[in-house]
């Protein structure tokens, strides 16, 4: 299994049919790592680093492939799941995550940037001196990513700031634990699909316009092809092919980058295609 807390990935191509389940948690108003698709910034600076997919994008892809179905039957029912599902459904028009299992969003700007994080400020300063560093600079960088902690620390003391963070840790554990149990113990997940290398399928022309051909180079018949957008949504499906060479006509897809999940009787591979 994979679980993510507040992170994002720069390359989501590895998420495909047959991958392990993903649990991902993040503040929907995270300023530094985008909840959907966007640019990572460095806390305490205005430096833009890289385009990435955050929790919303990653969860949508995992669910579109059915990789998180292990959490759905039987359904997990508890207060944490209800809270996550209600938020995802209510904001479906914004994030497109209604029904997505394994996604827990922390709501609001105050909870956007790692509300589960806390540090012992006195210990940080002491360690900084020991290593010849400036403890105040280190703390300022932490506060830049977690201003609510700084506010509570200044106004109510370290104990109150720490207590708030621990409450969020409890929520993370409450949502994460039953899914870890489901995936690793109750219904262990096995990747039972052989993954062929992408070199065993030729795609042309690429970029394409109205039609595109797929050829299995080792005479392994293609059974189906599923086209996905960058957001992980299925935009077209070709089923019951049973041939080593297929021409997909009348694509009728907007210009952009897509992923074609080419499936065989045993195995699958993914090809990146461009429509222009």
241: which 2 tokens? 């092919």
Residues 270 and 178 in one domain: no
Q: Within 13 A of 5's CA, how many CA atoms are on the CB side? A: 11
Last residue of a domain, one of 152, 186, 220: 186
- Provide the pLDDT for residue 94: 93
Domain, as residue range, for 12: 2-115+165-186
The count of structural domains within the chain is: 2
Query: Strand locations in the chain, DSSP E?
Result: 2-5, 22-27, 37-41, 48-53, 103-106, 201-204, 212-216, 222-229, 234-238, 245-248, 256-264, 268-275
Residues 175 and 207 in one domain: no
Last residue of a domain, one of 151, 186, 221: 186
This prediction's pTM = 0.65
- Average confidence (pLDDT) per 10 residues, the chain, 276 residues: 91 82 95 91 76 94 91 90 96 93 95 92 91 91 87 92 95 95 66 51 92 89 88 84 93 89 83 90
Residues 52 and 79 in one domain: yes
């Amino acid at each position: 299994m994979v679980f993510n807390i507040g992170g994002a990935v720069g390359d989501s191509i590895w998420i495909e049919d047959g991958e392990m389940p993903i649990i991902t948690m993040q503040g929907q108003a995270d300023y530094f790592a985008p909840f959907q698709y966007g640019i990572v910034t460095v806390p305490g600076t205005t430096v833009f680093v890289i385009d990435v997919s955050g929790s919303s994008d990653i969860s949508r892809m995992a669910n579109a492939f059915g990789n998180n179905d292990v959490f759905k039957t039987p359904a997990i029912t508890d207060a944490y799941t209800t809270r996550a599902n209600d938020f995802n459904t209510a904001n479906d028009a914004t994030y497109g995550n209604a029904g997505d299992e394994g996604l827990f969003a922390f709501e609001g700007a105050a909870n956007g940037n790692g509300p589960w994080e806390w540090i012992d400020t006195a210990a940080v300063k002491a360690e900084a001196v020991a290593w010849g560093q400036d403890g105040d600079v280190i703390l300022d960088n932490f506060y830049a990513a977690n201003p609510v902690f700084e506010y509570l620390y200044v106004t109510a003391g370290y104990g109150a700031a720490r207590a708030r963070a621990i409450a969020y840790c409890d929520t993370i554990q409450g949502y994460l634990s039953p899914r870890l149990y489901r995936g690793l113990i109750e219904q262990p997940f096995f990747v039972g699909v052989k993954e062929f290398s992408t070199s065993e399928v030729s795609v042309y022309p690429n970029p394409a316009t109205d039609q595109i051909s797929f050829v299995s180079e080792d005479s392994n018949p293609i059974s189906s092809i599923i086209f996905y957008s960058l957001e992980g949504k299925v935009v077209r499906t070709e089923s019951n092919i049973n041939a080593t060479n297929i021409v997909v006509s009348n694509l009728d897809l907007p210009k952009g980058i897509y992923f074609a999940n080419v499936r065989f009787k045993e195995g699958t591979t993914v090809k990146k295609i461009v429509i222009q």
